[in-house]
């Protein structure tokens, strides 16, 4: 369900041999650096924190897109991942991560695993990441991709209702647009917590919101910018 996923094969130039995984990854390191520089300059008025950019630089986005999209993996734009879903634009991933402000002691919930890319970025910054995907084939593929991240737990389910038994969460990142902020997610947000969620009824009326809960449980929302995400689906 992620908004805006098979590892690309690089061929060694020497003796026609296949490249090792490390060589393949190094071959795309320059692409990741270039993507980070583009993100850095996209909205100079709202600079992305260096810690977030470093996580974006370290996660191999090409490992989270379908084979048909590998050559476009480091373009700063959303890409299709199948089932009517997309992997988000890298800038939006960086911005939502920064707004969520994950720390190494934090427990983070992601709604809409999709390809697993956002969860992988969060995993480098947070203590524990819980991620839910409603589309079973996407969830299965993402679970395999995320198996190398020891602090990520995945589940198939309706993200509208969150992950109650693992709550409360210091941060919640929702990667699909809801018509309104789901009350179960507000209930599962810890005092002092932050939720980042696109809200709107169509692609043309969505706003990215930052929802905060203070120590007394009072909830406030702030509109950040207009966005376009796939809708949050389920039985709600």
CA distance linking residue 108 with residue 123, whole number of Å: 9
Owner of token pair 């990215």: 208
Strand 128-133 relative to strand 152-156: parallel, antiparallel, unpaired? parallel
Strands 189-199 and 169-174, bridge-based pairing: parallel
* Contact by Cβ (8 Å): 142, 26: no
- 180 catalytic residue (yes or no): no
88, 147, 180, 223: the active-site residue: 88
| CA terminus-to-terminus distance, the chain | 15
Q: How far is CA 90 from the centre of its chain?
A: 9
Distances (CA, A) of 121 to 16, 84, 139, 213: 34, 23, 17, 24
Q: How far, in Å, CA of 101 to CA of 186, rounded? A: 17
DSSP labels, 67-106: GGGGGGTTSSS-EEEETTEEEPPHHHHHHHHHHH---TT-
Residue with tokens 């956002």: 118
- Catalytic residue numbers read 88
């Amino acid at each position: 369900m992620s908004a805006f996923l098979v590892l690309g094969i690089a061929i060694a130039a020497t003796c026609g041999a296949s490249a090792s995984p490390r060589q393949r990854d190094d071959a795309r390191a320059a692409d990741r650096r270039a993507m980070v520089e583009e993100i850095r300059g996209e909205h100079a008025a709202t600079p992305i924190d260096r810690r977030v950019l470093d996580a974006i630089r370290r996660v191999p986005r090409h490992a989270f897109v379908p084979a048909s999209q590998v050559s476009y993996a480091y373009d700063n734009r959303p890409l299709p991942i199948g089932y009517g879903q997309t992997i988000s634009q890298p800038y939006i991933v960086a911005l939502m991560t920064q707004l969520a402000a994950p720390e190494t002691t934090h427990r983070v919930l992601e709604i809409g695993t999709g390809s697993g890319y956002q969860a992988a970025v969060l995993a480098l910054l947070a203590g524990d990441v819980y991620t839910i995907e409603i589309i079973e084939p996407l969830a299965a593929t993402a679970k395999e991709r995320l198996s190398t991240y020891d602090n990520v737990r995945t589940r198939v389910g309706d993200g509208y209702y969150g992950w109650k038994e693992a709550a409360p969460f210091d941060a919640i990142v929702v990667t699909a647009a809801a018509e309104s902020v789901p009350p179960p997610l507000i209930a599962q947000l810890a005092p002092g917590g932050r939720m980042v969620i696109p809200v709107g009824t169509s692609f043309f009326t969505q706003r990215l919101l930052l929802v905060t809960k203070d120590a007394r449980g009072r909830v406030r929302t702030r509109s950040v910018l207009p966005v376009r995400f796939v809708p949050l689906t389920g039985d709600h």
